[in-house]
């Protein structure tokens, strides 16, 4: 067995293991030096973790759209980032109108529900039009064709919304009921908006997983993911299932857009690009096409981005470690793809068969 392993082991494998080992050693040494220096208290690390969970929850919601479409169509919908942007950007105008009328502060729950409804409806509309106009005619084409189409559709939507809504940043109004923080005892506090983001994302993710696992439509989605032609022979309307898949992914993206805007407050026509790339990274980390994997990948990436730069680099004397969070995130992606190309949980639509 050892001889067979050595025969398959190449210089490239040796180089990659050395690179991986060096990075791991850097992480261990940097973490040790940072913790030994004691510049950060338990409250600081708690804040890093909570922020990472909130940010990762948004990534996970967007990543589910990528993973659902890939699980069904085996294509990467790079325009999904603009589906996310369209909901958040359109929601701004609704939120601003409700704020100026006073409705946002007088009836915050109804106002937030209306805001989510508008954002999710906008994202769903954009996604369905994309599927019907851009993707459906190319469904039997080579994979490179719909990929290029998705990139073109992404730019088309970016500059369409720039023309319609303007290129300036828009600031979401302050929601009074979400201001402030709750004390967890001692020096530990948590922002209300972070709790809302984490809980709302968890509910939406659990709802999606239950829908795919327990409903007839979910079983049909898994069947189409396995084999479209056989599913059609069994009486499943493949086109309808694909449209519903886009609807589910877009609804989650629209909700993620509102949660992101409520947490970071600013939106613009280009806001989907970076979160979209991060969410795609999260989907690949977890296992593209795998719903639990997308959830896990999003949370893992959010935590890694929030905690990693300070923990790994501060002790090494890096003056601005947080500026390297994207480098850390994508380095982690490359390493995962090298050592486990299918992602953390592997590539599958769900953990159960249809």
CA dihedral sign of residues 267, 272, 274, 275: positive
Query: Into how many domains does the chain fold?
Result: 1
Q: Which of the pair, 244 or 139, is modelled with greater confidence?
A: 244
pLDDT value, residue 7:
63
Is 25 a residue whose pLDDT tops 70?
A: yes
Q: Give the residue-averaged pLDDT of 323-333.
A: 80
Determine the average pLDDT of the residues in 322-332.
Answer: 81
Would residue 333 count as lying in a domain? no
Residue 350 resides in a domain: no
Check pLDDT > 90 for residue 125. yes
The answer to whether the CB of 35 falls within 8 A of the CB of 315 is: yes
With a cut of 70, say whether residue 317 has pLDDT above it: yes
Share of the chain above pLDDT 90, in %: 54
Query: Is residue 337 very low, low, confident or very high in pLDDT (cuts 50, 70, 90)?
Result: confident
SS3 content of the chain, % helix, strand, coil (to 5): 75, 5, 20
pLDDT band at 330 (very low <50, low <70, confident <90, very high): confident
Let me know: does 137 contact 153? Beta carbons within 8 Å: no
Checking if the pLDDT of 332 tops 80, the result is no
User: 229 near 85, Cβ under 8 Å?
Assistant: no
Q: Is 13 or 142 the better-scoring residue by pLDDT?
A: 142
- For residue 28, pLDDT over 80 is answered with yes
Q: List phi, psi (to 5°) of 143.
A: -60, -30
Q: Of 5-14, 171-180, 336-345, which one has max mean pLDDT?
A: 171-180
* Contact between residue 59 and residue 298 where contact means Cβ atoms under 8 Å apart: yes
Least confident of 72-81, 116-125, 134-143, 325-334: 325-334
Residue 262: per-residue pLDDT: 93
What per-residue confidence (pLDDT) applies to 58? 95
Model confidence at 312, in pLDDT bands (50, 70, 90)? confident
The closest alpha carbon to 94, from 77, 69, 113, belongs to: 113
Q: What does the pLDDT read at residue 352?
A: 40
Is 187 part of any domain? Answer: yes
Q: What is the mean pLDDT of residues 150-158?
A: 94
pLDDT of residue 260: 95
- Residue 343 maps to a domain: no
The per-residue pLDDT for 5 is 60
Q: Which residue range is the domain that position 196 belongs to?
A: 47-271
Range in 152-161, 304-313, 343-352 with the lowest mean pLDDT? 343-352
Q: What is the mean pLDDT of residues 195-212?
A: 93
Residue 187 has a pLDDT of: 81
pTM given for the model:
0.90
Q: What is the mean pLDDT of the chain?
A: 88
pLDDT computed for residue 354 by the predictor:
38
H/E run at residue 181: strand 181-183
User: b or e along 174-188 (b: 16 or more beta carbons within 10 Å of the residue's beta carbon)?
Assistant: ebeebeeeeeeeeee
198: in domain: yes
Supply φ then ψ for residue 127, to 5 degrees: -65, -40
CB atoms inside a 10 Å sphere around CB 243 = 16
pLDDT of residue 2: 60
Q: How far apart are CA 324 and CA 302, in angstroms?
A: 14
Q: Is residue 56 part of a domain?
A: yes
pLDDT at 350: 53
Please indicate, yes or no, if residue 285 is contained in any of the structural domains: no
List Cβ neighbours of 151 (8 Å cut-off, separation of 6 or more). Answer: 78, 79
Which residues on adjacent β-strands are paired with residue 181?
191
Does residue 249 lie in a domain region? yes
Section 240-266 average pLDDT: 94
pLDDT computed for residue 345 by the predictor: 77
> pLDDT tens digit string along 35-78?
888 888 888 999 999 999 999 999 999 999 999 998 888 888 99
């Amino acid at each position: 067995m050892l001889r067979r392993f050595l025969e398959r082991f190449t210089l490239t494998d040796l180089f990659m293991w050395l690179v991986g080992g060096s990075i791991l050693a850097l992480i261990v040494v940097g973490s040790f030096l940072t913790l030994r220096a004691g510049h950060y208290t338990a409250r600081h690390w708690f804040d890093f973790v909570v922020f990472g969970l909130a940010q990762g929850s948004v990534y996970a919601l967007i990543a589910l759209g990528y993973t659902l479409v890939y699980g069904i169509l085996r294509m990467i919908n790079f325009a999904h980032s603009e589906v996310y942007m369209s909901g958040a950007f359109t929601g701004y105008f609704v939120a601003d109108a409700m704020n100026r009328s006073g409705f946002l502060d007088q009836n915050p729950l109804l106002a937030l529900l209306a805001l989510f409804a508008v954002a999710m409806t906008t994202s769903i509309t954009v996604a369905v039009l994309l599927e019907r106009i851009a993707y459906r005619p190319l469904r039997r084409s080579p994979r490179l064709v719909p990929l290029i189409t998705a990139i073109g559709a992404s730019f088309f939507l970016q500059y369409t919304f720039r023309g319609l809504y303007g290129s300036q940043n828009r600031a979401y109004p302050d929601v009074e009921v979400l201001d402030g923080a709750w004390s967890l005892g001692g020096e530990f506090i948590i922002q209300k908006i972070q709790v809302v983001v984490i809980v709302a994302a968890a509910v939406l993710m659990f709802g999606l997983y239950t829908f795919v696992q327990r409903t007839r439509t979910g079983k049909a989605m898994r069947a189409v993911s396995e084999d479209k032609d056989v599913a059609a022979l069994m009486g499943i309307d493949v086109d309808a299932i694909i449209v519903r898949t886009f609807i589910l992914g877009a609804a989650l993206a629209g909700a993620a857009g509102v949660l992101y805007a409520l947490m970071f407050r600013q939106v613009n026509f280009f806001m989907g690009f970076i979160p979209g790339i991060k969410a795609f990274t999260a989907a690949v980390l977890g296992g593209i096409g795998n719903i639990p994997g997308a959830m896990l990948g999003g949370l893992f990436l959010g935590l890694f981005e929030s905690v990693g730069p300070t923990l790994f680099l501060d002790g090494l004397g890096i003056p601005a470690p947080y500026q390297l969070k994207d480098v850390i995130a994508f380095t982690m992606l490359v390493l995962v793809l090298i050592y486990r190309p299918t992602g953390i949980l592997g590539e599958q639509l769900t953990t159960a068969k249809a």
